[in-house]
């Protein structure tokens, strides 16, 4: 507001400063939930990596939307996996067991980028996977996740894995 406008409305420098401070507090309060949701998505991704490294089938229901709306494209099998029951069975096919069954294999994510559409997180990354007895570079490829907010944090609604072409 111009100085003339401030005088016409009766707002002096102190009132203007108070107004600016209030605006700053509103902006900070809006940033806090955004930071909370970023942290929640990070926790879900970290737990997903841990699930893969421990082969803990119990974590599937905790990390994914646990109903028939969840979908998953695997890098290892053709077709769409639909629903939580089919997703559990898909993980059993990789050796997952209730309580975990570590194999010494290691999965991790690199080049993670999170994009937002309203409250929905779209995660783009590279997955890498190595087995203890494998020679050569780890298996890898692009992955995308769609995570949605729930009462207990963010859950994976959709995941899509692909394999990168073999090096060489």
Query: Which helix (DSSP H) or strand (DSSP E) does residue 107 occupy?
Result: strand 106-117
Q: What local confidence, expressed as pLDDT, does residue 5 receive?
A: 46
* DSSP structure class, residue 69: T
pLDDT in tens, 2-52: 444 444 445 667 666 666 665 555 444 444 467 899 999 999 999 999 999
Residue 55 has pLDDT above 70, yes or no: yes
Q: Of 17-31, 65-79, 80-94, which range is least confident?
A: 17-31
Claim: this prediction has a pTM higher than 0.85:
no
Phi/psi for 80 (5° steps) reads -95, 130
CATH topology of domain 40-161: Nuclear Transport Factor 2; Chain: A, (3.10.450)
């Amino acid at each position: 507001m111009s100085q003339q406008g401030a005088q016409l409305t009766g707002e002096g420098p102190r009132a203007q400063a108070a107004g600016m401070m209030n605006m700053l507090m509103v902006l900070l309060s809006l940033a806090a939930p955004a930071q909370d949701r970023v942290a929640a998505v990070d926790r879900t991704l970290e737990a997903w990596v841990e699930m893969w490294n421990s082969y803990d089938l119990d974590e599937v229901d905790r990390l994914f939307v646990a109903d028939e709306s969840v979908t998953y494209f695997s890098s290892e099998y053709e077709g769409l996996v639909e629903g939580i029951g089919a997703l559990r069975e898909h993980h059993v096919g990789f050796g997952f067991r209730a309580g975990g069954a570590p194999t010494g294999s290691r999965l991790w994510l690199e080049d993670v980028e999170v994009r937002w559409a309203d409250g929905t997180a779209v995660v783009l990354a590279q997955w890498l996977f190595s087995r203890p007895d494998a020679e050569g570079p780890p298996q890898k490829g692009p992955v995308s996740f769609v995570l949605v907010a729930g009462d207990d944090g963010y859950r994976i609604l959709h995941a899509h894995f692909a394999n990168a072409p073999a090096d060489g």
